[in-house]
């Protein structure tokens, strides 16, 4: 299983592209990622599942997997307005992020190496601006989970100002994987209306988290 993961990660097109097709840099990133996965004990996170996450943060539904897009890529929906800086520790949100991404990776079908992320910025306010988490997210996406496409929708003026700062923290390749959508109709070019959240005028049922019971653990 480990050998299979190594081979998969090595041949990720995005990883090579991000390292400008430099094999040595790509191999080094692979080694660093494997070390990170061991030190962070990713295997244990997946084994314990939701029971090790902050249940109050899970209840918010600010980061959920909602289905697949037209290319059968798992879709993660992030509702930024539900993330309030300081409400939960950065360690708690980091654990939730890693668990969500790892779960999405488990849903990848054979031959598909990428996932899609919808970042909904509707009702984005100053209290939602968390540069510490943004830096953490950038680090994860650039160094360990480069195989993703981000669709950003409902961008307010405040975020446009923040983006002028954030984009300079990114590897030059990363912005090419971030698509700013003008409206809801643009989202329909990527994802069927049946799985789009109602918050985005879709037809999916509203998220309600059900905490695990003793029998589930």
Q: pLDDT digits over 83-131, tens only?
A: 999 999 999 999 999 999 889 888 887 667 788 999 999 988 989 989 8
Radius of gyration of the chain (CA): 17
User: Can you give the pLDDT at residue 194?
Assistant: 94
Buried b (16+ CB within 10 A) or exposed e, 132-149: ebeebbeebbbebbbbbb
Beta bridge partners of 77: 64, 118
Percent of the chain with pLDDT over 70: 84
* Structural domains of the chain ordered from first start: 2-216 (3.40.525.10)
* pLDDT(14) > 60: no
Average pLDDT, the chain: 82
pLDDT (tens digit per residue) in 179-189: 999 888 899 99
Per-residue pLDDT tens digits for 119-161: 999 988 989 989 888 888 888 877 777 677 788 999 888 888 8
The pTM score is 0.82
């Amino acid at each position: 299983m480990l050998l299979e993961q190594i081979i998969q990660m090595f041949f990720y097109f995005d990883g090579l592209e991000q390292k400008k097709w430099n094999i040595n840099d790509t191999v080094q990133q692979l080694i660093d990622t494997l070390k990170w996965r061991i030190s962070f004990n990713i295997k244990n996170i997946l084994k314990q599942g939701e029971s090790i996450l902050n249940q109050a943060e899970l209840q918010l539904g600010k980061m959920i997997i909602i289905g697949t897009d037209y290319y059968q890529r798992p879709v993660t929906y992030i509702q930024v307005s539900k993330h309030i800086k300081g409400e939960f520790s950065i360690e708690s949100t980091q654990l939730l992020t890693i668990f969500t991404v790892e779960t999405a990776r488990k849903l990848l079908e054979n031959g598909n190496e990428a996932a899609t992320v919808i970042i909904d910025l509707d009702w984005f306010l100053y209290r939602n601006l968390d540069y510490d988490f943004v830096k953490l997210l950038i680090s994860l996406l650039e160094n360990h989970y480069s195989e993703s496409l981000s669709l950003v929708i409902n961008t307010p003026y405040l975020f446009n100002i923040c983006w002028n700062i954030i984009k300079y923290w990114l590897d030059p390749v990363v912005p090419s994987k971030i698509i700013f959508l003008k409206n809801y109709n643009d989202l329909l070019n990527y994802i069927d209306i049946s799985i789009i959240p109602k918050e985005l005028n879709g037809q999916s049922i509203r998220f309600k988290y059900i905490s695990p019971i003793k029998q589930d653990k």
